[in-house]
Amino acid sequence: MTSREISAFAAEEETRVLSLRPVLAPVHGRYGDHPHQTYDAWPAEDPAAPLVILLHGGYWRYDRMHLTPFAAYLGQQGFSVLLPGFRRSGGAGGYPETFDDIARIVDTLPEGRPYVLAGHCSGGHLALWCAARALLPAGSPWHTTRLPPAVLALAPLTDLDATRRDRLSNDAALQLLGGPEEFETRMASVDPLTLLKGAGTTGVRTVLLHGEVDEEVPLTQFADYAAVHRDLETVVLPGTGHYTLIEPGAPAALAVADTLRRLSAPWTGAAGRPEPAPKEPGPEEPAHP
């Protein structure tokens, strides 16, 4: 998934994790008519289990199959998990279709339940973008004040300009936004770092978790985003690369699960019973004061 030179450690990690056999979900569903507008679900037996919506990585090009083992692992950890597909670059997606689908996912699939929106790599970019949708101009079709209750960005791409500059995954950012002619104009509405500048916060409780020795996404992306987001929580896992975060059973994956539990705690009581969902804001009522 990268055109950059990486160490033998990182290459082995990538091969090990991405070679895991996909896991068939017990439930499948649709949120639209396009073949890519589907999702896999691992419902927990306990209806009070925290809900996680998991956005897959793959530089906006690849499908979600590589993340099914991790989604199943989170199901074993006591979460209800939704792993959606969406229209992707190089096919039916890119700008604007990918963002149309992500907005539709978070606006409809939770069905009023509190949830944590999590994403890995480019999925982390999409999760951070969802948290920033209230910062879009009111006339944007993606503008909303009904934001995710909490976001966990796992080794995310936060800066599309830097992703383009570093030519990550063979110019994936250019492909996402339709080429160099459209890049600057379109980036303004879909780049988490750009949207955050000036505002300093999205108003959404957000954790950025990454490995200390990530060689897939330059560490400057994490540092530059943290420097702008004044109430961001950053978690760094020592000796951890990019892909071990989504490797079932690995210490890093357990840390991810623990962070998801912590983020879901505000609306889950000590006995595991959900507290009432926050009241949906009206048209003039902000989701996050």
* pLDDT, tens only, 214-238: 999 999 999 999 999 999 999 999 9
Report the CATH superfamily, name and number, of domain 8-264. Alpha/Beta hydrolase fold, catalytic domain (3.40.50.1820)
pLDDT, residue 3, reads 47
- Provide the 10 A C-beta neighbour count for residue 269: 10
Q: Is the pLDDT of residue 47 over 50?
A: yes
pLDDT, residue 267, reads 81
Q: E-assigned strands of 14-76?
A: 27-30, 38-42, 51-55
Task: Give the pLDDT band (50/70/90) at residue 284.
Answer: very low
Q: Which two tokens stand for residue 91?
A: 């096919």
Percent of the chain, pLDDT > 70? Answer: 91
pLDDT, residue 280, reads 39
pLDDT, residue 4, reads 63
Q: Alpha-carbon distance 83 to 252, whole Å?
A: 20
Percent of the chain, pLDDT > 90? Answer: 89
| 72-102 pLDDT per residue, tens | 999 999 999 999 999 999 999 999 999 999 9
Report the predicted TM-score, pTM, of the whole model to 2 decimal places. 0.92
pLDDT, residue 6, reads 87
Instruction: Please give the residue that has the higher pLDDT: either 243 or 272.
Output: 243
Q: What is the mean pLDDT of residues 263-287?
A: 52
Domain ranges of the chain: 8-264
Task: Give the pLDDT band (50/70/90) at residue 5.
Answer: confident
Among candidates 203, 246, 191, which has minimal Cα distance to 52? Answer: 246
Let me know if 8 is exposed, middle or buried by CB neighbors in 10 A (0-12, 13-18, 19+): exposed
Q: How far is CA 220 from CA 87, 215, 259, in A?
A: 28, 11, 23
Q: Is the pLDDT of residue 186 over 70?
A: yes
Task: Give the pLDDT band (50/70/90) at residue 269.
Answer: low
The DSSP-derived string for 107-139 is: HHTTTT--EEEEEETHHHHHHHHHHTGGGS-TT
Q: E-assigned strands of 189-228?
A: 205-211
